[in-house]
Amino acid sequence: MNRFVVISGCSGGGKSTLVAELARRGYATVEEPGRRIVRDETRSGGTALPWIDMAAFARRAMDMALQDRETASAEGPWIFFDRGLIDAAAALGHATGEDVLSPLVRAHRYNRRVFLTPPWPEIYEADAERRHDRAAAIAEYERLLDVYPRLGYDLDILPKTDVAARADHVLDRIGQASG
């Protein structure tokens, strides 16, 4: 069983909050590549931003996701990723039409069970790093609903509940004692 677990889904659906809760409980976690790229590009005056050059942003996210996997290999028994390589490949495919089912994506597998946060309008908020609207977030979510199963992953749609219950759900589903 692969110990790299992806938390993906709709922007603004609570992924980062869930990953922070898992970190609080002592699990190794990896921050979303997109947010790190936006912060870096904004500081440096770069253009690899989703609202300027989505293809450059997605390519950079793919590179960062590969680096994250390499770095995380030395960490604990379970590592939770706030998005990852497949999300970046799906974004690149959407921006350019490139094949998201490429050998690169197929060679770097995550745990077969992928947790998705569904659209949750009541908690969605745009911010400096998330400038797209809710409709764009839902369209992205629908692409992920398609891409992950085509790559052989099993989707586990997270319940719209408090973060502690969501973390318990994730841990229960991968066979870890929750709490």
- What's the pLDDT tens digit per position in 44-90? 999 999 889 989 999 999 999 999 999 987 777 899 999 999 999 99
pLDDT digits (tens, 9 = 90+) for 129-152: 555 567 788 889 999 999 999 999
pLDDT for the residue numbered 119: 85
Using the predicted structure, report yes or no on whether residue 1 has a pLDDT greater than 60. no
Q: What is the per-residue pLDDT across 91-102, written as a single tens digit (0 to 9) for each?
A: 999 999 988 777
Among residues 75, 70, 74, 63, the alpha carbon closest in space to that of 36 is found at 63
Q: What is the pLDDT of residue 74?
A: 73
Which of 37, 19, 152, 30 is closest to 91 using CA atoms?
37
Q: Which CATH superfamily is domain 4-173 in?
A: P-loop containing nucleotide triphosphate hydrolases (3.40.50.300)
Residues 68 and 169: their CA atoms lie apart, in Å, by: 25
Mode of pairing for the β-strands spanning 79-82 and 4-9: parallel
- So where are the chain's domains? 4-173
